Amino acid sequence: MISGVLLDLVGVIYDGEDLITGATSAVARLHEAGLPVRFVSNTTRSSKQAILDRLSRFGLSIKSDELFTPAQAAREWLGRHEQSPHLLVHPDLVPDFHDLTGSKGKAVVVGDAGEIFDYRTLNKAFRELIEGADFLALAPNRAFKDADGKLSLDAGAFVTALEFASQKRAVILGKPSPDFFLSALNSMHCSKTEAVMVGDDAENDVAGALQAGISCALLVRTGKYRREDENRFKPSPTATVDDISAAVDWIIAKRGI
């Protein structure tokens, strides 16, 4: 029985500035089938509003509370712990942390900072960590599909470097954090046993969802997918399909089982 759907964005719905063929109609089919949908993205180079604006340009009218981002999770964490952020993130993501102050300390927040990653910025974050700051990683992704179609280093490599140097383990806020998946499921009152996740990242989207207890996770052969990705990480995908349209075919066919 499938009662709710979690969809990754980059590599599943769009790829760079291009909508993946059939994505809009695939999402519409889920809605027509009465299945609630939440979008769960590890994108950390764009603000939440920028992502919503891009989806709107693609013809997908998504409400803010239907989109879950690591920056949003970080804001909530910082608020709960009354901490202020030391940001090592892409400049386009900084607006998502506007007006955050805390009276009980500081937390280093690391996302995909792109060209901002250099010795100076990494060393500054390292010094904050060894002086007592908490450590938040927006996502642990190893690589992402860059504008030239090739894979590039993602934030995970830099998070690992800071963990090694500071001897502190980062709190992961985006996928594959179980709390991240569960926040999205709770917002549509869907249990883990009746949910399905669709992503192009066999490690964080698919294996992460299954490890979090989600009953099904589909890997699409678009975005960052590379041949044999379905065999690189455990648990293996429930199914590997060509694209979001094929994923929706699978979901609707299995919905009542």
Q: What DSSP string runs through 180-194? A: HHHHHHHHTT--GGG
123 with 155, same domain: the answer is: yes
pLDDT for 103 equals: 81
Helix (H, G, I), strand (E, B) or coil at 134: strand
22 with 110, same domain: the answer is: no
Helix (H, G, I), strand (E, B) or coil at 39: strand
164 with 182, same domain: the answer is: no
Total domains in the chain come to: 2
At residue 101 the predicted structure's pLDDT band, cuts being 50, 70 and 90, is: confident
Residue-wise pLDDT tens digits, 194-250: 999 999 999 999 999 999 999 999 999 999 999 999 999 999 999 999 999 999 999
pLDDT for 99 equals: 86
Non-local (6+) Cβ contacts of 231 within 8 A are: none
pLDDT for 16 equals: 87
**Cβ–Cβ under 8 Å, residues 38 and 188:** yes
168 with 185, same domain: the answer is: no
CATH code at 129?
3.40.50.1000
157 with 228, same domain: the answer is: no
